Amino acid sequence: MNPYQTIPSAILNDAGLNCHAVFELAQLSPDVREMLLARCPRAAQYQQLILIGHGGQRFCEALKESGAELVREEGKHPVDDFSVATVQHYLDNDWPGCEHEIVYPGAYTVSLQELGKLAGWHHDSPFMVGVNQHFGSWFAYRCLVLANTELPVTPAYCDASPCDSCASKICISACPAKALEGGEFNLMKCINYRRQPESKCRTTCIARVSCPVGTEHRYPREQIAYHYGRSIAMIEAYAKKE
Ligand code: SF4
Ligand code: SF4
């Protein structure tokens, strides 16, 4: 059973948006509240902050069932568009007239990983993607909503990082760039390797795929290729500007 699926909404869950954490703004630590207020000046007028993610394979299936395609095209964001449309549908259906604001995806840069840690979804992995015992690394943050909803606040789900008890740490040895050696992620080694024409990591991360945790939730190949294809395109575009 998915321990992060706490909002019983068929609209969200049937779309694969099956990870939820509801925070009462007033109960967030001063640090987190300050971070939010600095980035979303209107945050103070809302009562709740809702973090919504997807875990596993259903999200990609549902996106395709909606008629969208996972293709990389300039100016197109099918993952964000599908996520926002689904969350908006949920809010309109379950909370009609309720004031709300979708702050991610959007102009604000809120630290989703910090919120994921607060929710108990996110432990750091050697390859710098969040990992947990249920989904392994096969989950992602899709929407962050400020709202005057009255949802039950989600107790933080506290489990240990799967990396703590992972004897093989196979992700580290699997990285062809040796970018994870010594316990620190070496971003430049990773990028330099990924940019090589013969790289095995242009549209995937071999380290991530080698992790044995949550393999039944691994994204379909096309979804992995989509996300890593976007990141390599951004890396190449940035390199061209330099
Ligand atoms: S292979 Fe082991 S150390 Fe690497 S991410 Fe998976 S659980 Fe953590
Ligand atoms: S993308 Fe490739 S080079 Fe970068 S960390 Fe993953 S396995 Fe290593």
Q: Which residue's alpha carbon is nearest to atom 6 within ligand 2?
A: 205
What is the mean pLDDT of the segment spanning 61-90?
Answer: 94
pLDDT at 41: 80
pTM: 0.94
Q: State the residue range of the domain holding 200.
A: 162-241
Would 1 be classed as within a structural domain? no
In terms of Cα–Cα distance, which of 50, 49, 52, 61 is closest to 14? Answer: 61
* pLDDT score of 53 more than 90: yes
208 CA to middle of ligand 1, Å?
8
Give the domain-ending residue among 147, 172, 204: 147
Same domain, yes or no: 127 and 202: no
Would 196 be classed as within a structural domain? yes
Please give the Cα distance from 153 to 28 (Å, whole number).
Answer: 11
Least confident span in 178-192, 200-214, 228-242: 228-242
CB crowding 22-38: b at 16 or more within 10 Å, else e: bbebeebeeebbebbee
- CA angle, corner 146, sides to 13 and 89, nearest 5? 40
Residue 211 near ligand 1, beta carbon < 6 Å: yes
Residue 221 near ligand 1, beta carbon < 6 Å: no
119 CA to middle of ligand 2, Å?
27
Same domain, yes or no: 23 and 135: yes
Is residue 52 within a helix (H) or strand (E), and if so which, with residue range?
Answer: strand 48-55
125 CA to middle of ligand 2, Å?
12
Alpha-carbon torsion (190, 195, 201, 204), positive or negative: positive
pLDDT, one tens digit per residue, over 183-206 is 789 999 999 999 999 999 999 999
Residue 177 near ligand 2, beta carbon < 6 Å: yes
Same domain, yes or no: 27 and 114: yes
DSSP letter, residue 132: B
What residues does 186 pair with on adjacent strands? none
In terms of Cα–Cα distance, which of 153, 161, 200, 154 is closest to 4? Answer: 154
| Closest ligand 1 atom to Cα of 162 | 7
Average predicted confidence (pLDDT) for the chain: 93
172 CA to middle of ligand 1, Å?
8
In terms of Cα–Cα distance, which of 67, 105, 106, 101 is closest to 83? Answer: 105
Q: What are the φ and ψ backbone dihedral angles of 18, each rounded to 5 degrees?
A: -110, 15
Residue 191 near ligand 2, beta carbon < 6 Å: no
Same domain, yes or no: 41 and 89: yes
Please give the Cα distance from 162 to 165 (Å, whole number).
Answer: 6
Q: Which ligand is nearest to the CA of 207?
A: 2
| Closest ligand 2 atom to Cα of 171 | 7
Count of the separate structural domains present in the chain: 2
Same domain, yes or no: 38 and 96: yes
Whose structure tokens read 């013969």?
198
What is the mean pLDDT of the segment spanning 45-57?
Answer: 96
> How much of the chain exceeds pLDDT 70, in percent?
99
Same domain, yes or no: 131 and 86: yes
